[in-house]
Structure 1
Amino acid sequence: MTTLADLTASTPGLPCRTTDPELWFSKSSSERALAQALCRECPIQLECAQYALDNRDVKGVWGGTTAADRRSFWDGRPWRFDERGRLRLECGSVSAYHAHFTYREQPCGACAAAFEEQLLAERRRRLGVEHAKGGSTTGYHLHRRVGEPACPLCLGAMRAASAAARRRKAGRGLQRARAASGAPASAETVNGAPAAVQPLALAG
């Protein structure tokens, strides 16, 4: 197995060997930025960065990464360098999807697909909860969001809710009509259901 020490010994012209090495351990942010820029021209940058990520005790700039950069990847998440040389999450996950917005850029196709997959899984989980309740209007809308016809339980709940809404609307309309004509509203009308029609009393 080739180690980083083997690579540095066998690779000529490494920036950290041809330039003052103190630059890579400077406390100056501008000097650290210069060291990072030099690292991006190094043929073993990736190997050097991986070594630093695997060994938390190393200090300074390694493979174009600072200690602060590397700290975010100590959990072993896959990483990459973007076109500007920044240490980033490897694309294709929900975390990387949100990271795109942090960098003020649109998510790539792989990250967008990962986000949609998680969103679909969450909607199906919620749909299972609604089914356990015997179906609901929420379940009906979740069916629509996942792009499938509603099941009989959720469809029935939606139809029942729509019918109840129509009855309430009709009741309110009748109540307004009675109020406009000066007739008192019955208790049934106030509660949203049309009052039953009463027969007219005949004069004796």
Structure 2
Amino acid sequence: MNYSRARGRRAGKPDTRAKILEVAQRRFLAGGYQGVKLRSVAAEAGVDLALISYYFGSKRGLVGEALALSANPADVLDRAVAKGDPTTFPQRVLAGLLALWEDPASGASLRALVAGAAHDPALANRVKEMVERELIDKIAAQLGGTDARKRASMFCSQIAGLIVTRYILCLEPACSMTHDEIIRQYAPLLHLALRSTTANARRPAPNTLSGNTTGR
């Protein structure tokens, strides 16, 4: 029986894909996006260069998947939606993202991703698509209403501003605030972003993220 995934392409051993990802992640964190050379990744992983294109399509695809091994903000969102009172959703998102960015492994991955996107417009577009699909669209689906996507986008914009201020530019006072201080300062802003300002928005379901369960 032939399990080949594509004509003329060697599928490699079952662990080949994982090995390529492991090497790419390590090299990306050490040298950034520009420092990842596909030939060197293939050589270290002990695979043919063509297998990188076979599995990932491009350098961009490889880097995107490699970083996802240790950092996935969408997982934080999923856990925040699944747990607890909807009125404390912003607090749970903030707590999860702060922990993710300050974990040595995942934080390094996320900072490297931001740096790579700054140098590569195509990678930046990939990140934008991921944020829209995995964060904004999911929050909008939970919110409901005619302006749900606008509110979800404003929510994510507020968080993006915090991330850049605290972890990329290291601006004070956000850079040195404790987690509790960040949550106290930013949670009310995020609650406001989730509230509908559209008069004709449909009444939200009881389990919405806006904290408004009365429809008023």
Q: TM-score, normalised by structure 2?
A: 0.24
Q: Which has a greater percent of helix?
A: 2
Q: Rg larger in 1 or in 2?
A: 1
